[in-house]
Every structure is written in C-alpha cells, then in structure tokens.
Amino acid sequence: MTPTGRLLSASAFGVLLASGALAQELNLYLIPSPSSTAIQSFIPAFEAETGIRVNVTETPYGEAHQKLLLSVQLGQAQYDVAQFDNTFLAPFGAAGTMRPLDDYIAASAAYDIADFSEGSQEYGKYDGRTLGLVLSTEPMILWYRTDIFDELGLSVPATWDDYLANARAIEEAGRGDGNILGWGPNASWWFMTFIWSFGGQLYDADLNPTVNTPEAVAGVTLFKDLLAYGPEGGISASGDDTTNKFLSQDIGQMIQYSGYWGVALDPANSAFVGKIGTAKMPMGTTDITHLAGWNIGIPSDAPNPDAAWQFLEFVLGKDNAADYLKAGAAAIGRKSVLGNADLLAIHPYLPLLDIPATSRIERYPQLRVWPELEKAILDALPPILNGEVEVQAGLDALNETMRPILAQERAN
C-alpha cells in the first residue's frame, strides 16, 4: 500500500505558500527502523501536494544521536526533522538540541493531542516542554507460543511466579526452551523492568542509588533464575537476537517490546506466524508498564521549522494514524487506532497499548548521565547472572559504582 496522506487544510497550505515553503527543501534525519521506512513512504504524497522536496539522511543507531548533537552544537542547520530514541530526551533537552513543539501542538486540530493518553502526552516532554512527538508506542509485553501453551495446557501467566512455572513446565515436557530474555547488551532493559516490577527503583528522589534493596534483590534473583530456562547462548543475546531466536526456535515465552510485532507477522522472519499470542507483562508485587519507543521532532537549528511541522502533522496526524501503521511502522498508541476493528484483526496486541491508569508507567531514566549509568549496570550484571557473585553482593557493589555517577547528575 502507498499512503496518499490527508490533504493539508486550507489554512496550513496558506501558511506554506505565504512563507515560501513551496520552494523549500526539507531534510529529514532518520534512524533505520520500521518507523523510518513508514515515514519515507509518505514523502511522495507530501511532495506532490506541497511542492516541497524532501531529502532523507539515515544514520545507524549507534552513531545517530552523537552526530545530531554535534551538528546542532556547531550550528550547522543541516536538518529540519530528526528521529531520536527517548533515552536521549534528557541529554538533548539539557543541550538545547530540539525545538519545543508545544505551540505547534496546541494549534493543531489535525495532530489532535487529545487522541493520546496522558502518559503518552508526557512521553516526549523534558522539563515540562514537548521536545518530541510520539513516533512509536512500545510497552514491554509478554509473547507466547499458542501451540505450545495449548499442547501443554498452560495458562497465560499473570505473575512472574506463573511465568517461571510455565518456563519450567515447557522444559520438563521437552517442548523447547521455557523462555528467553535479552541478557546481553540490552540487559539493562530487563534489569530495570524486574526491579520496578517488585516495587524497587534505580535511585531515590535525591538521586541516591537504590539497586541493592530487598525489592531489587527479588527482581534480579528472578532475572537470574530465568536464565536456567533459556536457550544456549541466550546470555549474550541482544534485543534483536532475542526476537530472532523466539521467531525461529521452539521457545515458549518471551518478554519484549511490542514494536517487534511487524517482524512476527512476516513469514520471511518468523517460522510461527499465526502461533504467537501477546498479553500484558506479568506482575511482581507492583503493576508497572515499561514504556519505550521513538520520538521525532525539530532540531533547534532547523532552517525551516514551520514546514517541518507541516510534514510531521501530515505524516503523524490523527487522520493518517491507521495508514502509518499499515505502512509497517510500530504502532502509535492513539485512542482512535486502538479501537480500529480492521487493524485489530491484523494487530491483536493493540489494546495492550492502552495503558490503564492503575499501571505505573516507567521508562528509561531521564538522566544526562544515563549512558554512564547503563554501562555500570551492564558491567555488573554478567557475574551476577552467571552465579560468580551472589546477587546481594553484586548489587551492593553496583550501588556504590552508581553513587558518583548520580552525583554528577546532581551537580549539573
């Protein structure tokens, strides 16, 4: 399907014409992903309607954020629209990398911010200002093999105890591996999830580390216990590796972001199309939702910010929400999309994006020192998960390693 987009309103078209935007070019800075691919599919319709030429630069994730930060710091005015991971919202906000979008949003009936839940409206905010629109809504959810569950008479786990019991039952029945998590370079995702799920936090309100509390020990102990029911080599699996293994091997359960659903639908990537169910992530002692996803916005040195907003409004406005998902993107959790019967027939996980008010939303820490903090976590986890160090002792050591890093955040 080739998205045609919606027509610009007469007033929006008039703004473009009056500003000379019809003769302008827009330069997009995107990161390879299904969201980037979907955005680019709307470019021909936008160009045909406005006469604005749209150029695209795609930069791999590992270098994309630093390159954008440097470009803006040098005042190079290279890009009008930029995609970024929410983990970089705080560093970008502190550095003034992105332009606040609140005035554009407030004036835009086409974007319709009221179509989002309160949690989603807050997702792109730093220090009270919206620096990025929601480009994907990706809570961490449970994925499970319906054929294995039916064969063994297993129920969808509501708690982590249930999840662990299912993993054990699957292996004891010789039906494959009981579960898979990413214990490797993305282990911080699951580390945080388990600590939050048992009522813990990474740090307190005064930025003192708290990863050695009883709640944190309970969460990391479960993380370690589940490793025994995962596939060989699972301890080094990245987020993508985790999904690829789940889609190609007999693995009963997986905890992963919802944004991988498009991959699970593709027979070229998945050996189990039609045999995968999704459900809310199991609970520990606390009902939490680990929320992730892309943002997209306008760099503070963008040459054509008004035309950039018109492009964002054109692609991501309410009227195009269904077409954006059909173009292959990870879903954006608009209320209007979550109840779309046609989309639900293809994407049955969509109701999971409607995060209930009873669930505590957690996301990557909005800290400028997060890269250093994440490295400390990733360095500390392998000996804990491998059993070389007792969980409590390992977390005590990590807590002390985190202390001076968080002190830097307080000092900034």
Q: What is the mean pLDDT of residues 173-186?
A: 90
Band of residue 330 on the pLDDT scale cut at 50, 70, 90? confident
Residue 19: the pLDDT is 46
Please name the residue that has the structure tokens 């630093």: 66
On the question of pLDDT at 82 being above 70, the answer is yes
As given in the structure block, the two tokens for residue 214 are 């009883």
Mind listing the pLDDT tens digit for each residue in 5-21?
444 544 454 444 444 44
259, burial (CB in 10 Å: exposed 0-12, middle 13-18, buried 19+): buried
Please name the residue that has the structure tokens 């954008």: 68
As given in the structure block, the two tokens for residue 37 are 């691919």
Give pTM, 2 decimals: 0.84
Averaged confidence pLDDT in the chain: 91
- CA dist 259 and 379 (Å) reads 27
Q: What is the mean pLDDT of residues 377-393?
A: 95
Pairing type for strands 133-134 and 294-297 reads antiparallel
Residue 408: the pLDDT is 94
Is residue 138 a contact partner of residue 144, using CB atoms and an 8 Å limit? no
Closest by alpha carbon to 116, among 367, 316, 371, 312?
A: 316
Task: State the sign of the Cα–Cα–Cα–Cα dihedral 33, 334, 191, 171.
Answer: negative
Q: What is the mean pLDDT of residues 220-237?
A: 88
- CA-CA distances (angstroms) from residue 80 to 32, 55, 76, 113? 17, 10, 11, 21
Residue 259: the pLDDT is 87
Mind listing the pLDDT tens digit for each residue in 93-135?
999 999 999 999 999 999 999 999 888 898 999 999 999 999 9
Mind listing the pLDDT tens digit for each residue in 332-380?
989 998 888 888 888 888 999 888 888 888 988 988 898 899 999 999 9
Mind listing the pLDDT tens digit for each residue in 33-79?
889 999 999 999 999 999 999 999 999 998 999 999 999 999 999 99
3-state helix, strand, coil split of the chain in percent (to 5) is 50, 15, 35
Band of residue 411 on the pLDDT scale cut at 50, 70, 90? confident
Is residue 149 a contact partner of residue 156, using CB atoms and an 8 Å limit? yes
- CA dist 330 and 324 (Å) reads 9
Residue 399: the pLDDT is 98
- CA dist 405 and 380 (Å) reads 15
- CA-CA distances (angstroms) from residue 17 to 26, 102, 312, 313, 329? 15, 23, 17, 16, 30
Strand, coil or helix: what is 305? helix
- CA dist 220 and 210 (Å) reads 13
What string of DSSP letters covers 30-43? E-SSHHHHHHHHTH
- CA dist 261 and 112 (Å) reads 26
Band of residue 388 on the pLDDT scale cut at 50, 70, 90? very high
Give all domains of the chain, ordered by start, each with its CATH number: 10-137+293-353 (3.40.190.10), 140-291+367-411 (3.40.190.10)
Residue 66: the pLDDT is 94
Best-predicted range by mean pLDDT (185-189, 262-266, 399-403, 406-410): 399-403
Is residue 270 a contact partner of residue 251, using CB atoms and an 8 Å limit? no
Residue 185: the pLDDT is 81
Residue 12: the pLDDT is 52
Q: What is the mean pLDDT of residues 226-254?
A: 89
On the question of pLDDT at 258 being above 70, the answer is yes
Q: Other C-beta atoms within 10 Å of 334: how many?
A: 24
- Alpha helices per DSSP H over 84-213: 89-95, 102-106, 118-122, 146-152, 160-172, 187-197
- The dihedrals phi and psi of 353, each to the nearest 5 degrees, come to -80, -10
On the question of pLDDT at 153 being above 60, the answer is yes
Q: What is the mean pLDDT of residues 179-189?
A: 86
Q: Above pLDDT 90, what percent of the chain? A: 70
